[in-house]
Structure 1
Amino acid sequence: MATLHPFRALRPKPTDAALIAAVPYDVVSSDEARALSDGNPLSFLRVSRAEIELPPGADPYSDAVYQRAARNFDSLKKSSLVVEDEPALYFYRLRRGDHEQTGIAGCFSIDEYEHGVIKKHERTRRDKEDDRTRHMLAVGAQTGPVFLTYRASADIDRIATRATEGKPLFDFEATDGVRHTIWRLDLVDGNRLVEAVRAVPTLYIADGHHRAASAARAHSERRDRRLPGTSLGDVADASTFLAVAFPDDEVQILPYNRIVRDFGGLSAEGFRLAVGERFEMEAGPAAPACRGQISMYVEGRWHTLRPRVGPDRADPIASLDVSVLQDQLLAPVLKITDVRTDKRIDFVGGARGTTEIERLVDSGKAVVAFSLYPVRVADLMAVSDADAIMPPKSTWFEPKLRDGLLIHLI
């Protein structure tokens, strides 16, 4: 049983929402964040990536960065943000082209996260946890939502249909073509939604494992240390984390493709022969047609790969195409055993398409690229239900939620 909590959101004035809303802090580099916020003093990147206001090359984890984030956040609160009078819940819709998904925006239980009602599928890195924990404690808020999913519920769908017929709180199209629309629920629909979510047995983290882990750590540190100026009520407010939960039948997962910078000591011909020993290989398209196929781009041509020895389809990890690529090609042929640390491999989110990985190979920045069929939401749930961990960089969720639209004060 999942628990949904209304909260008093800190949010932009509707006239400033489009200017404040920013891409998630972890999908852009410092240079990209600096370029995106250039000329826009309201950009939330000045809070989530405050190093962009320091000289280039500044340590993004220095005390000065978190102090600048807190100062910029205070400035935004005075000029362009308002706190809701009463706790509320929201529906948050993302739309691009013919794709649309509508999620529940509210607060969810850290205790349920720690006890497996809200399931994970990804390992977190301590340094990234440290960064967001320090950021949350510095600004006193969770500034961007975790992306959750759940098995679709007809009861929740009915509430969403009714609630989204009214006038939205925010409705704007971002520069990347994604339309962001948010509705605030009235008390009646909010109570109905809380009850409907109680019938959801399990929630799954789709994207935002570091945000969730950092929210839990921030809560623990505030509770254990009782930071100066913190009341018991403040600590209780931090026992939940901000998230948007989407039904699984609306979530869109794109592939997370790979490029490799060299053949691991092999010649190009030796590489092709080694691949041919493990995979059936023929000319094919840039994007795989189905599960069980991998597209490989090398020396200006695309090939379709099919493993000669198929994986155990009963194993939720081994059966993933990303695992087949790792276990049967990257590790044995290219000697890449740890994709987290090996500098010879890099990853390109599916939103950039296959033309980007072609460009990287054609330019000489890589020698081979691999295009994967997208992981299904059912695969993610199967891995999570098995309390297992997906291989790194398995999923790319699109479209992305924006930071700064709904903020959870802790």
Structure 2
Amino acid sequence: MADVKPFRAIRPTKDKVAFVVSKSYQEYSQNELKASLKFNPFTFLHIINPGFKFDKKVTGSKRFALVRNRYLEFLEEGIFKKDKSPGYYLYEINNSDFKSYGLFCATSVADYRNGIIKKHEDTIKRREELFANYLKTVRFNTEPVLMTYEENLSTKNLMESQKSKSPDYHFTTTDKVTHKLWVISEIETCKQIEEEFKKVKKLYIADGHHRSASSDLLCNLLDNKNVNTEKASSFFMSYLIPESEIKIYEFNRMIKDLNGLDKEEFLIRLDAYYRIENKGAMLYRPSRKNHFSMYLDGEFYALYLRKKVYNFTDALSRLDTQILYTTILQPILGISDLRNDKRIAYGCGKHNSIHMKNEIDSGNFEVGFSMLPVTIKEIKEIADAGLVMPPKSTYIEPKLRSGLAIYEI
């Protein structure tokens, strides 16, 4: 059963929340970033980019300490307030394409260690340690781990009953995304939510594998490897979202060269595993699993896997990103390290295929591949089997804003 707890969040005041919350740092162009920092004194970007105050770039432990200082300043200036009692935070995000809701809460390091919280990606030890040291210094977390669960009627009714009330936050950001947040702090309702999630046998990490691993490592550092249910460091902030409320996009693969092969040799090598159809210059998308779209030399190709020559042995072997890796990327194009090889790049999102075509037409890459998105069923099968997906297998929405709810450690 999942141990899901309420917590006392640090939150922006209602009159400033629209100015405080920010997208992920990487989503801003340099011009956007500079403008936000220069003209918006309330943006959370000031906390995570503390060197702006001194017109200086700072890194490492110095940056961590300054992040802590900027955070304390936001508290001192009344931009942030700490809730008086523990609660859950129901959050709905709505844009023109997609609407979903989920619950900010505290999830257990013990559940992560015991496999109740399931993962499907490998983590890099260096990144785990870096973020754990960051958390140890700043002592707060504003980036929840996105987890999904199989919703039952009871949890759904609980959430819907809260959404029928007036939200504590209701605002729209400049990218035309509408945000609503309900604070759930009534003792009986919190107990009911906690009990309902005890009926949930598994939580699946959708996004935030390194944040989960870093929280586990932080618990080791602060609590000598022991889980103490009375301490904040034995939990970490998560955003629990029903399976039906997430949207999964694929990542395209773009490769800079054909590994010394000319076009004809490359197509002949592909023919061993695929039935190939030339679809011409018109944009072409794959229509089913084990079916890929390839863009090469100004033309799209349909690649249909020859299943009689490919062995399906487990959930990983059936995954399209793994099939592409084992039949093309590694043996033909010579790409073994999908995470670090400079010859491969990835694109994601709705306009993914158009971006891939433009990049190849511009000469930045030689060939590109697209596929259907991974399904939630595939994610769960991989996680339940203890297997690991290739890097960049899923791009998952919603992408949450920083600074909306903060968990103190």
TM-score with structure 1 length normalisation?
Answer: 0.91
Q: Per the alignment, in what secondary structure is the counterpart of residue 302 of structure 1?
A: strand
Aligned to 1:192: 192
Q: Deviation string for 1:19-53 (max 9, x for gaps)?
A: 2212235x448948834734323222333354666
Q: Give the corresponding residue for 2:270.
A: 275
Q: Distance in 2 between matches of 1:161 and 1:49?
A: 37
Distance 1:113 1:222 in 2: 17
Q: Give the 3-state SS of the residue equivalent to 2:244 in structure 1.
A: coil
Secondary structure in structure 1 of the residue aligned to 2:335: coil
Task: For residue 379 of structure 1, give the secondary structure of its aligned residue in structure 2.
Answer: helix
The aligned amino acid for 2:257 is: D
Distance 1:208 1:84, change over 3 A: same
- Contact 2:21 / 2:403 at 8 angstroms: preserved in 1? yes
Alpha-carbon deviations, 1:348-375, whole Å to 9, x = none?
A: 1224522111121111111111112100
AA at the equivalent of 2:64: Y
Q: Are 2:388 and 1:393 aligned?
A: no
Contact persistence 1:260–1:366 (CA under 8 A): yes
1:298 to 287, 296, 302: 296
Distance 1:316 1:274 in 2: 26
Long gaps (5+) in structure 1: 227-231
> In 1, Cα distance between the equivalents of 2:191 and 2:124?
37
Q: How many residues align?
A: 402
Q: 1:359 to 1:98 in 2, by over 3 A?
A: closer
Q: Which amino acid is the alignment partner of residue 83 of structure 1? A: K
Aligned pair in 2 of structure 1 residues 334, 352: CA closer, same or farther (>3 Å)? same
Q: What code does the residue aligned with 1:223 have?
A: D
Match in the other structure for 1:224: 224
Partner residue in 2 for 1:124: 123
Measured in 1, the distance between the counterparts of 2:245 and 2:378 equals 15
Going from structure 1 to structure 2, the CA distance change for 1:97 and 1:133 (only over 3 Å counts) comes to same
Q: Aligned residue for 1:229? A: none
CA distance in 1, matches of 2:142, 2:42: 14
1:239 counterpart residue number? 234
Distance 1:36 1:397, change over 3 A: farther
Structure 1 pair 241–171 and aligned structure 2 pair: CA distance change class (3 A): same
SS in 2 for 1:182: strand
Q: Is the partner of 1:128 in helix, strand or coil?
A: helix
- 3-state SS in 2 of match to 1:262: coil
Contact kept, 8 Å, 2:147 with 2:239, in 1: the verdict is yes
Counterpart Cα distance in 2 of 1:125 and 1:47: 25
Partner of 1:167: 166
In 2, Cα distance between equivalents of 1:175 and 1:316: 41
2:283 matches 1:307? no
User: What corresponds to 1:287 in structure 2?
Assistant: 285
CA deviations over 1:258-278 (Å, ceiling 9, x no partner): 111111111233222222332
Q: How does 1:93-108 map to 2 (within 5 A)?
A: 93-108=92-107
Which SS does the other structure have where 2:231 is aligned? helix
Secondary structure of 1:15's partner? coil
Instruction: Write the deviation string for residues 295-319 of structure 1: whole angstroms up to 9, x where unpaired.
Output: 1111122221111236555611010
Q: Distance in 1 between matches of 2:100 and 2:392?
A: 23
Instruction: Check the 8 A contact 1:66/1:138 in 2, yes or no.
Output: yes
The change in CA–CA distance for 1:300 and 1:376 in structure 2 (over 3 A counts) is same
Matched residue type, 1:180: H
Contact 1:108–1:241 (CA under 8 A) maintained in structure 2: yes
The answer for unaligned runs of 5 or more in structure 2 is: none
Q: Judging changes above 3 Å, is the alpha-carbon distance between structure 1 residues 354 and 176 closer, same or farther for their aligned structure 2 residues?
A: farther
SS in 1 for 2:143: coil
Which residue pairs with 1:140 in the alignment? 139
Counterpart contact for 1:120–1:204, Cα < 8 Å: yes
Measure how far apart 1:6 and its partner are. Answer: 0.6
1:253 and 2:248 are equivalent in the alignment: yes
2:46 aligned partner: 46
1:202 alignment partner in structure 2: 202
Q: CA deviation digits over 1:380-407, x for unaligned, max 9? A: 0011111111111100002201111110
Per the alignment, in what secondary structure is the counterpart of residue 294 of structure 2? strand
Q: How much has 1:54 moved relative to structure 2? A: 7.2
- Distance change (3 Å), C-alpha of 1:8 and 1:246: same
**Farther off after superposition, 186-195 or 276-285:** 276-285
Q: Distance in 2 between matches of 1:7 and 1:195?
A: 15
* One-letter amino acid matched to 1:253: I
> Aligned in 2, Cα 1:19/1:306: closer, same or farther, shift over 3 Å?
same
* 2:228 and 2:234 in contact (8 A); partners too: no
Contact 1:30 1:51 in 2 (8 A): no
For residue 74 of structure 2, what is the amino acid of its counterpart?
L
Aligned equivalent of 1:70, options 44, 68, 71: 68
Shift in Å at residue 281 of structure 1? 1.6
Does the C-alpha gap of structure 1 residues 18 and 351 become closer, same or farther in structure 2, counting only changes over 3 Å?
Answer: farther
Q: Partner of 1:66: helix, strand, or coil?
A: helix
CA offset digits 1:157-176 (Å, max 9, x no partner):
00011001111122223344
For residue 238 of structure 1, give the secondary structure of its aligned residue in structure 2: helix
Please tell me the residue identity of whatever aligns with 1:96: N
SS in 1 for 2:135: helix
Residues 7-29 of structure 1: CA deviation (Å, up to 9, x unaligned): 0000111222122212235x448
Return the alpha-carbon distance in structure 2 between the equivalents of residues 134 and 66 of structure 1. 9
Check 1:224–1:49 CA distance in 2 against 1; reply closer, same or farther (3 A cut). farther
Using structure 2 for the length normalisation, give the TM-score. 0.91
1:274, 1:35 → 2: CA distance? 49
Query: 1:334 aligned to 2:329?
Result: no
Contact in 2 for aligned 1:4/1:108 (Cα 8 Å):
yes
Change (3 A) 1:98 1:324: same
Contact in 2 for aligned 1:12/1:405 (Cα 8 Å):
yes
Higher mean Cα deviation, 172-181 or 131-140?
A: 172-181
Q: 1:191 and 1:53, CA in 2 relative to 1: closer, same or farther beyond 3 A?
A: same
